[in-house]
Structure 1
Amino acid sequence: MAKTTSTRAGTGRKRVSKVHENQRLKGRPAPPKKGKPGAKKPSTSSARTAAKPTPAPKKAKSGPTKAQPRRSIFGILKQRLGSGLGKQVHHLIGLGMVLLGVIAGLALVNAAGPIGQGLVDGIRWLVGWWVFILPAILFGVGLTLLLGEESYAYSRTLFGVGAQLFGLVGLFHLMTGNPAFADGADRFQESGGSLGALVAYPMERMLGFWGAVVMLVVIVSGGAIVTVRASIREVLVASGRMVANALGKIRAALRSSGNGFARLLSRRKERQKMRSETAVVSVPRRPPPTPSPQDSTYLTEQPAASPEDNPPAEKKVKPTQKKKKKPASSSSSNGDGYQLPPLSLLDNPQSSPRSGRMIQETARQLEATLRDHEVNARLTNVVSGPTVTRYEIELAAGVKVARVTGLSGDIAYALATPDVRLLAPIPGRSAIGVEVPNKSRSLVTLGQVLASEQSDNDVHPLTIGLGEDISGRPAMINLAELPHLLIAGATGAGKSSCINSIVTSILMRATPKDVRLIMVDPKRVELGQYNGVPHLFTRVITKPKKALEALQWAVGEMDRRYELLAESGVRDITGYHEKYDVGLLEPARFDRFPYLVIVIDELNDLMMVAGRDVESAIVRIAQMARAVGIHLVIATQRPSVNVITGVIKANIPSRFAFSVASQADSRVIIDSVGAEKLIGMGDMLVITAREPRPQRVQGAWVSEGEVAAVVRWVKEQKSADYKKFTEEVRQAQIQMVSEEDEGEDPDLIRRAGELVIRSQLGSTSMLQRKLRIGFARAGRIMDILENKGIVGPSEGSKAREVLVGADERVDA
């Protein structure tokens, strides 16, 4: 069967080939013989088969021959030059324009010979008085083509410059009398030349003077848009940003100059004059003081306070001064003369403008990628930030969001970027956000953020400069509203820089009377530069045991503050401060306790040494300490469930997620994916209790030199007054043990203490064997000994360290 089939197939091929050969031999002479009626019948089948292939070769042959005359000689020349020279065409054109510009410029000073003089005369006849400007234009455009890298856009540049020259020469000719050709060559050469006469004269005759002006302005604008490859919206946005940056610099310069030494001296003189005048005018019936006319704001604010004697007057001045925008103004009202650091200590560089051309090219590539994958969508908006640019896409009706979210890798491949982050959908909008990293990132400094209007309008001492959001606006955040913060991310992602920005913001905006700090740095190299700062309660803690004591002291301080709040009849620290400042609380019984911020740089080291105790102290503070002004800032480079436990996450809802290695780490930090797509160097996702959806922010950068300058300033203002709370913690533990030990046999505790001290071995199993008690009771006795200060904290399966020597004895 196979042989039969092959034979038939071969026979069919031979027959078809024979038919085609006969058709080729007989097809051409056949048409002249078709006029005979007798020849139609025998040649019917052959005529039908010949009718199909004959027109095809005619079309194929006639097609190119007919299309060639339609092409212009300039198109053929351009194609020949492009195929022969490749990417060097725009370089040669630019070189020729530079040469013409140089020769024409030399000819203007009679230094180019007769050829140059003839070239200048021709240019003068063409553009009139623009003969003095056209050489510079030729030189500049030619230099742009020589130095440019995009060989495919030189024709667009030439067209745009030509359109601008066309419109500008026409405008100049129109404004200088609009002479016609009939007025003579000398007349129109003194204006816009023959080009201006050809453009402006007929346009004025048809549209009138103002119509011609509008038309020529539109032509110039269109040529500029084509040249720079930017839209009108981008030009307006860039102009607005330039104006805003200029105004911001002027405002910052005025603010820094206003905070100078002369202003401080004038305020001291005014305060002394006010005191002397209030002392003199205290006997009559409440006449307003008459200070110098320099302080007009004080004259308007003092009658609202309505003081009766000197101390209430001083207390009333404080809240009125806090109403001002600048937090630095409140520094002069402190009794100790503490002055906040000026903003000039921080760098405030000019923000570089972002390339609109690159953004447009990326937008075109993104739309082309979506079209290639048959996704019906359109680009609606572009938001450019310091680190990433978000392209907002609106889907057509019936297109699923999953079709776009599944193209993350394809979009990153098409845009030649490491990774993209898809926000589907954008909160509150019917659009999908595609966040693409910028090829050139902008540096965001802490000085830029603290010099913004947002910083001036918020005078809370715990408001910190965080960075810039996705749209390039300064991002400020209040630690009192968080109320606790967890910072996590991989090594080198920007956690330490974020902590330095937080601490430096507090030093720049708050006095030691308003905010105090406790810093824990197990790595010993990150926070040591802040030693000696008057805001510190104690030196930067580097040992885990002392860090645990500091947390336990903070728990006791929290309980003490709650007792003061209950006695004063207020609910939180804000109401307590207001009541204390007004004078409704007795200074003998109440103190004006400041805000307390506890900064822990590496939680993992503390959890490894004393995980249970550290976790219980952190959870206790996180649950209750917000109302009394105690706030936690915890950072870790190991985002795992062993370090960031579920209890800690439940009580610290505000988190900063920096770049991590996997989606699992991202879920541990922010309970969702996204942190694995960050690009590092301060790029972070921010979630707070008020805004649970992640917000992308570029963190602010503060250098070591800036930190050293701020620390030096605050050290000169006031020396550090450290608090030794180790003994307080020890006494509190002993008191707590004495209260909790009522249910335990004191003799058994004494015997256990003597046994541990004598053997110098803090082992729970040893107590089980020697005292013949169970494991639970032996563990409880060991905890009691720890609270008494006999043994150290638990170290896992190892025996505890004995803190009391063998020659000492335990108190009963």
Structure 2
Amino acid sequence: FPMRRLVGFWGAFVILTALVAAGVLVVTKTTLRELGGAVAQVGRRIWAWRRKPVAVAPKVAATVRKVKPTTPTLKKSAPANGPAATSRAPKPPKAKSRPKPQPRPNTDGYELPPLELLHLGEAEGINRRSLEQTAAALEDALIQHGVDAKLVRIVPGPTVTRYEIELAPGVKVSRVTSLSHDIAYALASADVRILAPIPGKSAIGIEVPNARRRVITLGDILRSDVAAKEKNPVSIGLGMDISGKALMLNIDELPHVLIAGATGAGKSSCINAIVTSILARATPEEVRLILVDPKRVELGQYNGVPHLMTRVITNPKKAAEALQWAVAEMDRRYELLADAGVRDIGSYREKWDAGGLDEESFDRFPYIVIIVDELNDLMMVAGRAVEESVVRIAQMARAVGIHLVLATQRPSVNVITGVIKANVPSRLAFAVASQTDSRVILDSSGAEKLVGLGDMLVVTAREPKPERIQGAFVTEDEVRSVVDWVKGQRKSQYEAKMFEAAEKKAAVEEEFDGEDPDIMRQAMELVVRSQLGSTSMLQRKLRIGFARAGRVMDILESKGIVGPSEGSKAREVHMTVEEFEATMAASQ
């Protein structure tokens, strides 16, 4: 009452209220800044709750607290790379009549498979309320940690949604990147990826996995307008980017690609999509395939298609021989390019089609795509031979239309060596277990934050910054339908000479008891021409050790070329120079 007499009723009320509030702040140890943030947060939530939900349209233009979310055009596209990742499996359309094949001139009656064999995925609506709640939680997390930033754009994708924020002047980008764990905690998601900055923008992207993923099928990609405009026969349907745009990848521009990721991340599905894309878009005259499958179960379904140059290779040693054949084929094609006076396969084929090359001396060679499903097995069995062939092809084969697609689930430096990485600039990185594995593949982190099942980062020679893509998924039934169609068009024609040189070499080595044929021929010529069966002479002339020289001499004895050992004396030679020359001429 004394205070009421001094300042009146309202004055006393204000003073007592202020004293009570100050006492509460002191007792609870709360600052005025924290109190203001809490009040603002409550106000924003009340405002968001009172707002009416906005209906989803193909292009969303509504604002969320002055934020303009950009959504992809929702055509017949859908989720992830595998049935386990989907919220709804794609349903095949009801075919009322036999689908028409794609037109392709000058193919001697060969008809490409109709794209209707590849099913479209089902479109998924965008959950506006979920986007708003996540955006509010993200802004609250930034405010609580004292980061002055503004949410400017929301980009919903098939697998993740990107929230783009702009920082106030003077705020360092590192303040946001250092809060990655705190942001993941606030959004209740362990796989939050921060892109700082977004390439080509003055903004930071925070990518949050969607609660419901959409299936992206190979039919969505190959039946899109982007694929219709792409005419190169080695262009493949890779998947869909975060903005919902179909992505076609031209292998001719890569020109070689390395695919790596943990088990179950989507590598095999990606390889099936690559092979099926080629079968669906190219004739055997345009593209031929060499498939290597050490696991024996992934690519066997493609046996018998006319695009194959040989049956699917399952033996690592046979795979090394196939790579050596590809090196020899590369050298042959370069000789043809030099004789034709052109620089690459594109100019060569244009000159051939125009009738500028003699059919007796030249041939219209196709593109060759070599796909290795598990590089690790090849490196363990024939590492040196495989690495040498891979490096030679990677360095020189682009101009003659030979391309490599190498896949491995073990992204270690023993498999992906520095020499291979230096010559294979394009990478497809699927989900890996650690940041170290991501750096082996991409030379940067990021792949450890992927959510698996087709979620990948793509790096090419033209785009060195990783781009996040949801890979296209193709079912076994779709693959079987395409394979049956192409088998019905033409029988397979395998390359008979692919393993011929290796078989001849093996026969010669067997004849010489496993010894190097070149060493044996040189030793035979030295002994016969000098008429001196001396082990020490072989050591000096051939620069080999005593044990090996003795073994070579024993083999010559078993062939009847020299006589038995006579102690320290040289062995007697039983073959004349004329007989040796006749034997060499007959063997040649």
* TM-score bracket for the superposition, by shorter chain length: 0.7 to 0.9
What does 1:61-100 align with in structure 2 at a 5 Å threshold? none
Matched, 1:555 2:330: no
Q: CA deviation at 1:732?
A: 8.4
CA 1:772–1:356 in 2, change beyond 3 Å: closer, same or farther?
same
Q: CA deviation at 1:353?
A: 1.7
- Paired AA for residue 458 in structure 1: E
Give distance in 2, aligned partners of 1:573 and 1:726: 25
Residue in structure 2 matched with residue 42 of structure 1 by the alignment: none
Give distance in 2, aligned partners of 1:227 and 1:344: 28
Choose the corresponding residue for 2:236, options 446, 464, 485.
464
Choose the corresponding residue for 2:399, options 627, 641, 655.
627
Residue in structure 1 matched with residue 221 of structure 2 by the alignment: 449
Matched, 1:777 2:564: no
Q: CA deviation at 1:350?
A: 2.5
Give distance in 2, aligned partners of 1:461 and 1:602: 25
Please tell me whether the aligned partners of residues 552 and 729 of structure 1 are also in contact (alpha carbons under 8 angstroms).
no
Give distance in 2, aligned partners of 1:570 and 1:419: 50
Choose the corresponding residue for 1:343, options 70, 90, 115.
115
Give distance in 1, aligned partners of 2:18 and 2:321: 96
Choose the corresponding residue for 1:606, options 357, 361, 378.
378
Residue in structure 1 matched with residue 36 of structure 2 by the alignment: none
Q: CA deviation at 1:704?
A: 0.6
Give distance in 2, aligned partners of 1:231 and 1:534: 50
Please tell me whether the aligned partners of residues 662 and 676 of structure 1 are also in contact (alpha carbons under 8 angstroms).
yes
Please tell me whether the aligned partners of residues 409 and 419 of structure 1 are also in contact (alpha carbons under 8 angstroms).
no
Residue in structure 2 matched with residue 430 of structure 1 by the alignment: 202
Structure having greater relative contact order (Cα 8 Å, sep ≥ 6): 2
Matched, 1:639 2:407: no
Question: What is the aligned-residue identity percentage?
Answer: 56
CA 1:710–1:428 in 2, change beyond 3 Å: closer, same or farther?
same
Give distance in 1, aligned partners of 2:55 and 2:125: 20
Matched, 1:329 2:117: no
Q: CA deviation at 1:727?
A: 1.1
What does 1:303-322 align with in structure 2 at a 5 Å threshold? none
Choose the corresponding residue for 1:232, options 62, 73, 79.
62
Give distance in 2, aligned partners of 1:428 and 1:227: 28
Please tell me whether the aligned partners of residues 553 and 729 of structure 1 are also in contact (alpha carbons under 8 angstroms).
no
CA 1:56–1:339 in 2, change beyond 3 Å: closer, same or farther?
closer
What does 1:218-617 align with in structure 2 at a 5 Å threshold? 225=54, 232=62, 241=73, 260=99, 328-330=102-104, 332-335=105-108, 337-617=109-389
Give distance in 2, aligned partners of 1:392 and 1:780: 71
- Paired AA for residue 572 in structure 1: D
CA 1:154–1:677 in 2, change beyond 3 Å: closer, same or farther?
closer
- Paired AA for residue 418 in structure 1: A
Q: Which has the higher helix share?
A: 1
Q: CA offsets per residue over residues 367-419 of structure 1, 9 Å max, x none? A: 10000000011111111110111111111111111110000000000000112
- Paired AA for residue 241 in structure 1: T
Larger radius of gyration: 1
CA 1:349–1:603 in 2, change beyond 3 Å: closer, same or farther?
same
Q: CA offsets per residue over residues 331-383 of structure 1, 9 Å max, x none? A: x4322x11000011111023212212211111111010000000011111111
Residue in structure 2 matched with residue 190 of structure 1 by the alignment: none
- Paired AA for residue 344 in structure 1: E
Residue in structure 1 matched with residue 571 of structure 2 by the alignment: none
Please tell me whether the aligned partners of residues 658 and 678 of structure 1 are also in contact (alpha carbons under 8 angstroms).
yes
What does 1:116-265 align with in structure 2 at a 5 Å threshold? 225=54, 232=62, 241=73, 260=99
Residue in structure 2 matched with residue 123 of structure 1 by the alignment: none
- Paired AA for residue 211 in structure 2: K
- Paired AA for residue 359 in structure 2: P
Q: CA deviation at 1:748?
A: 3.3
Give distance in 2, aligned partners of 1:416 and 1:459: 44
Question: SS state of the match for residue 558, structure 1?
Answer: helix
Give distance in 1, aligned partners of 2:546 and 2:438: 37
Question: SS state of the match for residue 232, structure 1?
Answer: coil
Unaligned runs of 5+ in 2: 22-43, 78-91, 509-515, 528-534, 553-582
Question: SS state of the match for residue 400, structure 2?
Answer: coil
Residue in structure 1 matched with residue 523 of structure 2 by the alignment: 748
Q: CA offsets per residue over residues 232-276 of structure 1, 9 Å max, x none? A: 36999899935x559xxxxxx99x999955xx8xxxxxxxxxxxx
Q: CA offsets per residue over residues 583-606 of structure 1, 9 Å max, x none? A: 111111111110000000000101
CA 1:413–1:334 in 2, change beyond 3 Å: closer, same or farther?
same
Q: CA deviation at 1:430?
A: 0.9
Please tell me whether the aligned partners of residues 76 and 220 of structure 2 are also in contact (alpha carbons under 8 angstroms).
no
Please tell me whether the aligned partners of residues 293 and 299 of structure 2 are also in contact (alpha carbons under 8 angstroms).
yes
Paired positions, count: 493
Question: SS state of the match for residue 680, structure 1?
Answer: coil
TM-score normalised over the length of structure 2? 0.75
Give distance in 2, aligned partners of 1:769 and 1:655: 53
Give distance in 1, aligned partners of 2:284 and 2:493: 10
Q: CA deviation at 1:329?
A: 2.2
Give distance in 1, aligned partners of 2:453 and 2:380: 28
Q: CA offsets per residue over residues 167-221 of structure 1, 9 Å max, x none? A: xxxxxxxxxxxxxxxxxxxxxxxxxxxxxxxxxxxxxxxxxxxxxxxxxxxxxxx
Give distance in 1, aligned partners of 2:213 and 2:161: 10
Please tell me whether the aligned partners of residues 156 and 227 of structure 1 are also in contact (alpha carbons under 8 angstroms).
no
- Paired AA for residue 73 in structure 2: R
CA 1:546–1:749 in 2, change beyond 3 Å: closer, same or farther?
farther
Please tell me whether the aligned partners of residues 73 and 244 of structure 2 are also in contact (alpha carbons under 8 angstroms).
no
Give distance in 1, aligned partners of 2:342 and 2:56: 66
Q: CA deviation at 1:702?
A: 0.4
- Paired AA for residue 329 in structure 1: P
Unaligned runs of 5+ in 1: 1-27, 35-46, 48-53, 65-151, 161-222, 247-252, 265-327, 736-740, 753-767, 786-808
CA 1:778–1:430 in 2, change beyond 3 Å: closer, same or farther?
farther
Please tell me whether the aligned partners of residues 70 and 154 of structure 2 are also in contact (alpha carbons under 8 angstroms).
no
Residue in structure 2 matched with residue 23 of structure 1 by the alignment: none
RMSD over aligned Cα, in angstroms?
4.1
